[in-house]
Structure formats: C-alpha cells, structure tokens
C-alpha cells in the first residue's frame, strides 16, 4: 500500500515525506516541478520505499497515466493532496493560475480517488478560505467563508468537492486549514522575501505595509506533526481542522526585526503604508485551534519561536 503525495517536491511535502518514511510507509511523490524542486527530495531518492514521478496533476490524463505507471500495480491507501499554487499574488493577477494549480489538481485527485478506489484523502487547505473576519476569532464553525484571494477561493472550492466526495464515494477525508507555515526549504513567503531583499542590499529592508499585520505562524515540523495526529485521531468520515499556534500571532514588525538581527543588524527597516501587504492579504487574524487542542494536540513552538527558528534555517539555506 502506497501513500501518494501530490505536490511532492514542495515546501511542506518534504517534511511530510520524511515523517511518512520514518513511520515505515511506502511513498510515491508526484510533482510538476514548476514550484517544487527535485533537489528538495534528492535525499529520499536512494530510499527503496520512495518513488518520484514528474507529473502535472492539473491535467487529468497526465495525472492518471503518471500515477498508474508509477504505481506499477500497487494500490494507494492514502492520498496526501499538497499540490497547489503557492504564489497568492500571482493568482490574483491571473485567476487561471489558481483555477488550474489549486482547484483542478484537487478536482482530478477526487476523480482518481473514485476511479482507483483510493479510500482516504488528506487535504492541505488554508486559513485563506475564511477571508477577513477582522478581530473575530475564527473557528471551523465560522461562516460564511468569504475568501479574498483566488487562492483562498480555489482552496474552498477544493474542500467543497472533497466534502461531496465523502458523501458520494470516499471513505474518509481530512481537511487541514493551514495557518502561515514557516521553515525550510523556503520557496516563498515573508521571511524568504525579506532575506532576499537584504541579500540584494544589506543596508535597507523595505517592508510591505506598516508592519502591524499580525498573523499566527506555525513551524512546518509542528504542522506535519498535527496532520499526522489528525489522520490518526480524527473521529469522523470528514474531519475539518484549523491547524495553528495557540497564541495570537506575531507582527510583520517582529519578523522584520528578527530578520534584520539575524542577517544584517545594521540595516534600516523601511515600512510601507496601510495594514495590507497586497490585495488578498488578511491584515490580522485570530485563529481558534481549540478543536485541535481538544483532540489532544498542541504545537511545540508558538508563533515567535517558530519564526525565530525558521529565520535561522532560511538564512542558512540562503547562505547568509
């Protein structure tokens, strides 16, 4: 039995695959390598329990052929659907990006679950499905979901299709609503962007927005730990969980100052105007993870601890 990981050469999949292999599972990773990087999964390639195939999951015939060829007669027990566009502003500029990479990958994953009798899907959803709730704390029961980015819209669309699949044929689905996740290998995100700016000019650190944006951050090691915990302990056919830190989060100001202290202590931080980094950005965010803590899981690191560790790791990854 095989654990299938779509988006298998992406940021979060790298940590997920490592832990699945440690647990003794056989893993097949698929990725179209547009945002994922084969270098990230290089270390797994010598493990006989691991297979990788370059496959574009947004195209159903390609996905089906690539999957069946790589499976070579084996069956899939668990589909970890991680493939998605990860560049939210790019999806705002062109709605087709998230239609294709964030939604059609999910739609096709569900079609293949039905066709290939894959019982269980674990889906990397996002807190972006909620939209801007202002200062209201967001629980899984909060509604209506009014996403303010095409990325969030297509994550919600994916959840919806998976939810219907659970009624129609699927045995089980776990939907993880991710917070902002930090760690390595970083490919995008606020830390990555800030460090890149300092790499170009160590004397000045321009920040999008006024620095007051406050969000909850989780380290990728905690995130994957939570996913595996929910996969093991979720009680229902369809389990929807917010995953996040238990604190109220950290500000962009904290991130900028920690990046500066780590990479270029003499840099001048130059803040922008307004509390949104870009259209579709959610300025502040109170995320309830009570359902998850009630199930028995808590993160090891709070937002600021996760950020401090990730900034160190990403600076090292970038040779700074």
Q: Which residue ranges make up the site for a copy of itself (CB under 8 A)? A: 92, 95, 99, 103, 107, 110-111, 114, 129, 131, 140-150, 152-154, 156-157, 159-161, 163-164, 166-168, 238, 240, 279-280
Question: What would the two tokens of residue 190 be?
Answer: 């606020």
Count CA atoms within 13 Å of residue 300 on its CB side: 8
CA gap 212, 206 in Å, rounded: 14
The nearer residue to a copy of itself, 49 or 142, going by C-beta atoms, is 142
Shortest distance, position 46 Cβ to a copy of itself, whole Å: 39
The nearer residue to a copy of itself, 9 or 292, going by C-beta atoms, is 292
- 255 and 208 Cβ atoms separated by less than 8 Å: no
Least Cα distance to 155 among 139, 172, 173, 177 occurs for 177
Shortest distance, position 2 Cβ to a copy of itself, whole Å: 24
Shortest distance, position 150 Cβ to a copy of itself, whole Å: 5
CA gap 85, 7 in Å, rounded: 10
Shortest distance, position 94 Cβ to a copy of itself, whole Å: 10
The nearer residue to a copy of itself, 15 or 213, going by C-beta atoms, is 213
Shortest distance, position 233 Cβ to a copy of itself, whole Å: 19
Shortest distance, position 274 Cβ to a copy of itself, whole Å: 14
Q: Which distant-in-sequence residues (6+ apart) come within 8 Å of 24 by Cβ?
A: 49
The nearer residue to a copy of itself, 15 or 120, going by C-beta atoms, is 120
The nearer residue to a copy of itself, 28 or 162, going by C-beta atoms, is 162
Shortest distance, position 130 Cβ to a copy of itself, whole Å: 9
- 57 and 103 Cβ atoms separated by less than 8 Å: no
Helix (H, G, I), strand (E, B) or coil at 66: helix
Phi, psi values for residue 51, rounded to 5°: -130, 145
Four-CA torsion 230, 236, 242, 244, nearest 10 degrees? -20
Partners of residue 204 on adjacent β-strands:
268
The nearer residue to a copy of itself, 161 or 246, going by C-beta atoms, is 161
CA gap 127, 180 in Å, rounded: 8
The nearer residue to a copy of itself, 87 or 304, going by C-beta atoms, is 87
CB atoms within 10 A of CB 283: 17
Q: Which distant-in-sequence residues (6+ apart) come within 8 Å of 305 by Cβ?
A: 219
Partners of residue 5 on adjacent β-strands:
29, 80
The nearer residue to a copy of itself, 50 or 130, going by C-beta atoms, is 130
Shortest distance, position 280 Cβ to a copy of itself, whole Å: 6
Helix (H, G, I), strand (E, B) or coil at 214: strand
């Amino acid at each position: 039995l095989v654990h299938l990981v779509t988006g298998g050469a992406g940021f979060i999949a790298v940590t997920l695959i490592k832990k699945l292999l440690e647990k003794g599972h056989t893993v097949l990773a698929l990725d179209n390598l547009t945002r994922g990087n084969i270098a990230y999964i290089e270390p797994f390639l010598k493990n006989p329990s691991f297979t990788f195939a370059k496959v574009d999951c947004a195209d159903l015939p390609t996905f089906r052929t690539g999957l069946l060829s790589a499976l070579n007669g084996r069956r899939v027990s668990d589909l970890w659907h991680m493939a998605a566009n990860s560049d939210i502003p790019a999806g705002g500029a062109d709605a087709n990006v998230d239609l294709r990479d964030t939604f059609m990958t999910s739609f096709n994953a569900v079609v293949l679950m039905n066709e290939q009798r894959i019982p269980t899907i674990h889906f990397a959803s996002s807190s972006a499905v909620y939209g801007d709730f202002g200062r209201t704390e967001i629980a899984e029961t909060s509604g209506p979901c009014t996403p303010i980015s095409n990325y969030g819209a297509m994550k919600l669309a994916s959840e919806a299709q998976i939810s219907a699949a659970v009624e129609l044929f699927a045995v089980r689905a776990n939907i993880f609503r991710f917070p902002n996740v930090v760690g390595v290998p970083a490919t995008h995100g606020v830390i990555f962007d800030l460090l890149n700016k300092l790499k170009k000019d160590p004397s000045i650190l321009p920040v999008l927005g006024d620095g007051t944006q406050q969000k909850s951050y989780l380290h990728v090691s905690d995130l994957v730990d939570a996913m595996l915990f929910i996969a093991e302990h979720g009680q229902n056919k369809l389990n929807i969980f917010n995953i996040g830190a238990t604190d109220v989060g950290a500000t962009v100001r904290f991130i900028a100052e920690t990046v500066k202290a780590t990479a270029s202590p003499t840099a001048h931080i130059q803040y922008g105007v307004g509390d949104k980094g870009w259209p579709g950005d959610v300025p502040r965010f109170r995320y309830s993870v009570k359902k998850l803590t009630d199930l028995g899981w808590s993160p090891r690191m709070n937002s600021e601890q996760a950020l401090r560790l990730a900034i160190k790791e990403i600076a090292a990854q970038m040779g700074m």
